[in-house]
Amino acid sequence: MWRLMRRRHETQPEVAGEVAAQAAVTVAPVEPDLEAAAFFDVDNTMMRGASIYHFARGLATRGLFTTSDLFKFAVGQAVFRLRGNENPEHIAVARETALAFVAGAKVDDVVRLGEEIYDEVMADRIWGGTRALAQQHLDAGQRVWLVTATPIELARVIAQRLGLTGALGTVAETSNGVYTGRLVGDLLHGPAKAEAVRALARREGLDLTRCTAYSDSANDLPMLSLVGTAVAINPDNELREHARKHDWEVRDFRTGRKATLTALPIAAGVGAVAGGVAAGIALRRHYRR
């Protein structure tokens, strides 16, 4: 009798597995909507703060540059945000400085650090409301792309971690897996974002009138105006006013202290450049070691 009971006990998992398989219901796959897609800005839209700044913070915790460097970068963000303008000459100078520092860094190292730092620092800063909006598009069979001035390697990491289709980001020139210190084109910022979306639409056969774009910044008005549906997420004052005049939907996921904190990181263009400087300094110190 003991032998029989033992045999029955040993086969319970197999029986449970068979029963579950027989009861399984095949869910009809989502019909892909090949002509519609959604485009999401990253900084302060999908994520609280500037992604490149969080990346720099992660580098700081690894001792790749000092907390003083990080503090100076943060102050620069706050000052710029308060001034609310973007001087093209300043952007150009900062861009060249960032590229000079990152020259010689290995792409694989940046990707590896990006994955580690996303899991440690960025994952908890994703806006749940924005992530849910992206999931709605995915559930409808639509592709979802991030569009950001952040370096493409980091943008791809974020897209992969969120289960999105892909990312459009600033592309730095590489040779044999190493950054040369030059950009391919320019920063993916402002009108360049709209051009990238337009080019992707041509490649993928998208109907832009059936697409949706999301952003927090008036700097992204060229992209937002390109698609059939524009949504302002955690908008700055200029974008909020534009959205009101054009009857665009507004979603604000900030509350109280969070709204104050997320007002500090600067707009995407200069944020990516300044963060690139900080990250470049860190990587250069890493290679010197």
Residue 166 DSSP SS3: strand
Residue 196 has pLDDT above 90, yes or no: yes
> Which of 6-20, 56-70, 137-151, 265-279 is modeled with the greatest confidence?
137-151
186 is known as an active-site residue: no
Q: What does the alpha-carbon distance between residue 9 and residue 13 come to, in Å, rounded to a whole number?
A: 8
pLDDT for 4: 46
pLDDT for 10: 52
Residue 144, H or E segment:
strand 143-151
Catalytic residue among 33, 43, 108, 139: 43
What are the tens digits of pLDDT across the range 65-110? Answer: 555 655 555 555 444 444 444 555 555 555 555 555 567 778 898 8
User: What does pTM read for this prediction?
Assistant: 0.76
For residue 145, CA distances in Å to 45, 65, 89, 139, 178 come to: 13, 32, 30, 14, 26
Domains of the chain, with CATH numbers? 37-251 (3.40.50.1000)
Mean pLDDT over the full length of the chain = 79
> Would you call 10 exposed, middle or buried from its count of C-beta atoms within 10 A (0-12, 13-18, 19+)?
exposed
Can you name the residues that pair with 178 across neighbouring β-strands?
106, 175
108 is known as an active-site residue: no
Q: Mention every residue, 6+ apart, whose C-beta is less than 8 A from residue 27.
A: none
Four-CA torsion 35, 166, 197, 225, nearest 10 degrees: 80
Four-CA torsion 127, 143, 53, 273, nearest 10 degrees: -140
Q: Are 39 and 211 in contact (CB under 8 A)?
A: yes
> Would you call 26 exposed, middle or buried from its count of C-beta atoms within 10 A (0-12, 13-18, 19+)?
exposed
Catalytic residue among 33, 41, 119, 220: 41
Q: What does the alpha-carbon distance between residue 185 and residue 145 come to, in Å, rounded to a whole number?
A: 20
Report the percent of the chain where pLDDT is more than 70. 66
pLDDT for 270: 42
What are the tens digits of pLDDT across the range 216-227? Answer: 999 999 999 999
